[in-house]
Chains A and B, each alone.
Chain A
Amino acid sequence: MSVLQAILDGLLVGGVYAVISIGLTLVYGVMGIVNFAQGEFLTIGMFVAWFAWAFLGLDPVLAAPLSFGVAFAIGWIVQGQLIARVLKAPSVAQIFLTVGILIVIENGSLLLFGSQFRSVTTVYQTMSLRLGPLFISVPYLIAFAMSLACGTALWWFMQSSWFGRAMRATAQNPVAAQLVGIDTARMYKIAYALGVGLTAFGGAIILPYVTVFPSVGGQFVVLMFTVVVLGGLGSVAGAVAGGLAVGVIQSLSSLVFPIQLQNLVLFIVFILVLAIRPQGLVGASR
């Protein structure tokens, strides 16, 4: 029974890992930028949701679209003003830039909001559903459902909307895309804004069970990179598979090993997967 419980918990947590990581993989997939500042957009999303909760009385889950919007706007500006300048630069310059953005956002929020821990109180925070002997944590379940909805919406957007197809075309061949009349600069903006917006959305939906403070993104960023590399860097389906896999591995490993070694087990599996399937679980090569 405890194995089932562990798998269930792992899947619920993993769904959230997936949605916060999709943004990272999207940004890489479309424009080839490894966005080290991705975790900070999670923080931004959490802060927006916290303020919406504290001052507007909005539940963090309902505030998630607001978080998405704010991060989308910031992402649009950041891409247009900063990232666009290093698209063709050596990757070192790209790393410096995104790490620089990370530092600016982290310290900016420290300056603006101070360093205290902020958490919300909601009615469902301490509730769970019983499924026979299994417990389903309500805040985890809500976050998972929201992730699922968000992932589906993104999938529809990428597959069926004109923007989505244009974005995929840009990812495949920017020059050809431009030749057929796609404004690639605009596609990059949309991709980046969408990518960080999704992560911020994820930040808001985990707020009922995670405390927000300026460096909270750092706790998730390693997981995010593990998820996307495990799933196959640049692949949205890979991020979903990777997210679920990471959640389940973490959860199952704590049945056998001390919880301290949770991430160690994760990284061992990670290295093994990379050794056997360097292209990741869902082998989409860019």
Chain B
Amino acid sequence: MAGAATPGSAASQQKTPAKCRARCGTHSHNRVRNTEGRRKREGGMSKNVQSQVKGLNRRTLFAGTVSLLAMPSVLHSAHAATPVINVGVIMPLSGANAQFGINSRNGIELVADEINAAGGIKELGGAKINLIVADSTSTPTTAGTVAQRLITQNDVVAILGAFASSLTIAISEVTERQDVPLLTMSFADQITGRGYKNIFQVVAKASVIGKAQLDYTAAIAQAAGAKIDKIAIMYEDTAYGTAQAGGLRAGAKAANIEIVMDDAYPLGITDATPLINKLRTSGAQAVFPVSYLNDSLLIIRTMRQQRITIPAVGGAAGYVIPDFEKGLGEFAENVLSIAPANYDLAPGLTERFRKRFGYFMVHEALEHAVCLEVLVQAIEKAKSAKAQDVVATLHGAKFTHGWTRAMPGGTVEFDQTGLNTLSVPLMVQWRNKELVTVWPKDIAKSEAKWQS
């Protein structure tokens, strides 16, 4: 905005002196006095610089200086009122994964507002949580840069983010170097598989999720009296899809199921027809697409066009958000998907999200909410907002109340690699615009339907 205002005011400045000079001679006096005044204020300024300054817009300079002087005091007074804990939130708020980033941010904001409203962090004198939200876009390099900035400029106690595994991995390089904890719900195995000590993954790993995707499907089919021995896998080729496809393969091998199609495709694909053509001729009895929203819509629509009626079992991401149902309408009904968590397991908590944002609490919002909950509990336990104290507490403790109850298993506990060992994936199915947990049997809210 400042940039837009400057050219206009500069133009008017140039006009005014000329007009005034014609009418009266006083302006030249003014100018001299002002220049002297400035010389007094700013000490030894070289002639050269002065002439440049004169060429600039004096009013702008003055306004800039005043606001620069005023700004720190404004910030300072805000700090003085209540202690504030800065928490960094890095999400893809633009680009291909933006919707997931916004969902995640919504979940985190809900918990932050609830905690602040309930009196903040009690062990730190009621300190309020101050979220510093940054857009990673959907590119890993930006994610890394933004993380660096949050740590050095905003003094954050921890970073939460960033939905897509490839972004989280880029951020983790920075947080590991700077000794700041990073809490995430990204799936990829590399996240906790590299021996990093400052990273915490609240969900099961992609390979575990992939294996569960296959195992649960086989179990559901069996319960319905069907048997599957030929399957197709298709996955987007970033960290998330690749890791989960690995789990699917391992699961198929263990269950002695033949993989008749195993194709990676680039994220941002604009035409799924070649994939579905291949699927049709493959003879698979079930298909496991691991994809984000755009590709998941393409895949299911093209399957329906070609009247392929085998069940599609989605791999979370695109299959478990309201937009999936919006994009497919009745064709979404009964589509199965694996998910790391689901809102119907803790409606008491998740309905608060629906009330505020107008749609059901999607899993990435839920798990990121759990990330913040766990972080706050760790700060309370450590009685400190020093990054290293928080990391130490995160590694040792069990987190049992608040939003952690919304996770399958109800508790969060990290092992030495930072993985939450208590999280198990679950299978959900679309029923009348809602996602219903249908497997494992002991936590299922409804019986699974084995049909496309």
Contacts and interface: CB of A to CB of B under 8 A. Distances in A.
Contacts of B15: none
A254 B274 contact: yes
Interface stretch (A67-75, A114-122, A275-283): A114-122
Contacts of A9: 271, 273-274, 277
Nearest to B294: A211
A9 B329 CA distance: 25
Nearest to B273: A9
A137 B303 CA distance: 10
Interface stretch (A77-85, A170-178, A188-196, A259-267): A259-267
B229 interface: no
Interface string A92-128: 0000000000000000001000111101010001111
B345 interface: no
A160 interface: no
A76 interface: no
A186 to B, nearest CB: 29
Contacts of B329: 121
B323 A13 contact: no
Contacts of B102: 114-116
Interface stretch (A22-30, A213-221, A225-233, A237-245): A213-221
B52 interface: no
Interface string A115-156: 111010100011110000001011110000000000000000
Contacts of B98: 115-116, 213
B269 A259 contact: yes
B216 interface: no
Most chain B CB within 10 A, of A6, A126, A260, is at: A126
A2 interface: yes
A13 B272 CA distance: 11
Contact of B96 (A110, A215, A258): A215
A214 B294 contact: no
B94 A110 contact: yes
Contact of A115 (B99, B237, B265): B99
Contact of A211 (B278, B307, B327): B327
A117 B327 CA distance: 9
A117 B293 contact: yes
B95 interface: yes
Contacts of B93: 115
Interface residues of B, number: 39
B113 interface: no
A250 interface: yes
Contacts of A114: 102
B327 A119 contact: yes
A115 B274 CA distance: 28
A259 B331 contact: no
Given A5-B277, A6-B277, A135 B305 contact: yes
Contact of B326 (A119, A138, A214, A215): A119
A125 B271 contact: no
Given A115-B102, A116-B102, A260-B266, A215 B95 contact: yes
Contacts of B306: 128, 135, 137
B260 to A, nearest CB: 15
A263 B297 contact: no
B298 interface: yes
Nearest to A218: B268
B271 A13 contact: yes
A139 B94 CA distance: 28
Contacts of B96: 213, 215
B331 A126 contact: yes
A256 to B, nearest CB: 11
Contacts of B259: none
Interface centre among B96, B266, B274, B327 (most CB of A within 10 A): B274
A35 interface: no
B281 A2 contact: yes
B298 A209 contact: yes
Interface of A: 2, 5-6, 9, 13, 110, 114-117, 119, 121, 125-128, 135, 137-140, 209-211, 213-215, 219-220, 223, 250-251, 254-255, 258-260, 262-263
Closest 4 CB pairs of A and B: A115-B98, A254-B274, A126-B304, A119-B327
25 contacts: A2-B281, A9-B273, A13-B273, A110-B94, A115-B95, A115-B98, A115-B102, A117-B99, A119-B297, A121-B328, A125-B301, A126-B305, A135-B305, A137-B273, A137-B305, A139-B305, A210-B294, A211-B327, A213-B99, A223-B270, A258-B264, A259-B264, A259-B266, A259-B269, A260-B264
Given A126-B301, A135-B306, A210-B294, 8 more contacts: A5-B277, A126-B304, A137-B305, A210-B270, A251-B274, A259-B265, A259-B274, A262-B274
